[in-house]
A and B are shown apart, each in its own frame.
Chain A
């Protein structure tokens, strides 16, 4: 049994099934990611796990506690970072953090000390006395995350942590998430950024229409794509006139010419480079670079879910605006 154990979870709103028979486990100390488009059921699942929504049916156990029957016990050991920054606009950064700590019963001296530490960690010390409403998007996101971890929770729930913020803040947040993992925290994250999931998650679940399509590590998920070997060569001139000769000599390979100064050598088997390079050299074509093109998680996602990655990107842009 994992630290988080979800079994046959369902959530319906009338006829609409937002979450459809979800089952998954999260092990202690891992970063588990939900990857899916908007409306896939990511936030609905998180809301049921943290107590903001009641499941239609199913079971949720968190650290051995039944989260449906005893959510207040669960809320003591979890930290929640919602998809929207939900701190108090009129209060300054320091007071916001202290207030959030007080909700967990942390005494004044301790919460003030912790708030200062977190402001320093998130590089917000200078903005400590500024009202939350005067923060930039990235600063707001960072303070919201700080508020979610001020009580030192065992498990963290992050809903779209880097959506709509600048690249630098997103990078800092990803680094912070990885540092929290190093400290032994268990992290459940939802995202529709494929690269983010790939970079920070130990295991990823693809979720579409309220259902988990596939769960696994990045390597395990990659196994779902039929592996073709692809090598891209960067050349000093076109190989149009040697394409046929190449394909005749290396019968397992096909050659594609995406542009004037490059070509793609594709084969089901591993590609031995030196004979190819030798042939090109004999024809007076210099090769400046050879790069293996590996299938991406995006390819796996498209194959397993049938959703074009461009759709996720469009949603990403929409949310970013």
Chain B
């Protein structure tokens, strides 16, 4: 019970202090909206709008989660307030999970902004919402963990932002967000399959436009492996780098 109290309060503090701040809410809305507008302006037919939704949603989650967690943790590390969490009598895993969940929720919120927008312009009656939610959840989780790996490596906030962009921008092109992986040059494809976002986007394609390249269950299995792996890499790095 004590652990649960600590867990909930870390999560609540992060949501109130960081995620519910007007600049972040506006970022969460403006960023996907501007991309949506840019792409919708190019698209003339409803069918095309639903086709770009998986990429748009994935990108919104990716940009929301990676930068937020990396920046907030680096910010707390610099101000030493993160030491308070390290010194609390709760396990490191519980503390890190509490930090992650805030970012995951923020990512999920970001993902549904383009959906709401798209609902007015496209027929979404044939969408498998269960898979949409699972896909968004897994993208948010794995992207947050990428953010955590970055946070552990960065000492300064600008470093965290630079590292985040270093991962994020290539992902837009390599993970099948707007161009199918099959259209990439053959020598780049292994890189696509080494990135977790590729599998999350595939789930969203299956759920929204029924055009995925793999089975949903295989995507989920691979994303789970990625998530567990990234979580343990982060935990190991935190213990190695932050508890000197």
Report which A residues bind B (CB closer than 8 A): 47, 50-54, 72-73, 75-76, 80, 82, 84, 86-91, 99-100, 102-107, 147
Contacts and interface: CB of A to CB of B under 8 A. Distances in A.
A53 B243 contact: yes
Nearest to B85: A103
Interface stretch (B2-10, B36-44, B118-126, B178-186): B2-10
Contacts of B88: 75, 103-104
A86 B81 contact: yes
Contacts of B87: 50-52, 75, 80
A87 B6 contact: no
Contacts of B3: 105
B80 A75 contact: no
Instruction: State the main secondary structure of chain B at its contact with A.
Output: helix
A49 to B, nearest CB: 11
Given A72-B90, A104-B89, A52 B81 contact: no
7 tightest CB-CB pairs across the interface, nearest first?
Answer: A105-B2, A102-B9, A103-B88, A86-B80, A75-B89, A76-B89, A105-B5
B110 to A, nearest CB: 22
A54 B17 contact: no
A168 B5 CA distance: 37
Contact of B86 (A52, A102, A106, A147): A52
B244 A53 contact: yes
B23 to A, nearest CB: 13
Contacts of A104: 2, 6, 88-89
B124 to A, nearest CB: 38
Majority-rule SS of A interface residues? loop
A46 B43 CA distance: 62
Given A102-B9, A103-B6, 4 more contacts: A86-B83, A88-B17, A103-B89, A105-B3
Contacts of B6: 102-105
Contacts of B244: 47, 52-54
Contacts of B17: 88, 90-91
Contacts of B5: 102, 105-107
A102 to B, nearest CB: 4
Interface of B: 1-3, 5-6, 8-10, 13, 17, 79-81, 83-91, 243-244
Contact of A89 (B2, B13, B79, B90): B79
A82 B85 CA distance: 13
A74 B46 CA distance: 61
A72 B93 CA distance: 12
B51 to A, nearest CB: 41
A104 to B, nearest CB: 6
Contacts of B85: 103
B84 A51 contact: no
A86 B87 CA distance: 12
A100 B6 CA distance: 9
Contacts of A102: 5-6, 8-9
A72 B89 contact: yes
Contacts of A52: 83, 86-87, 243-244
Given A54-B243, A89-B79, A103 B84 contact: yes
B91 A103 contact: no
A12 B156 CA distance: 25
A106 B3 CA distance: 10
A196 to B, nearest CB: 23
A217 B84 CA distance: 32
B244 to A, nearest CB: 5
A142 to B, nearest CB: 17
Contacts of A53: 243-244
A299 to B, nearest CB: 36
Nearest to A98: B9
B68 to A, nearest CB: 15
Given A86-B79, A86-B81, A99 B13 contact: yes
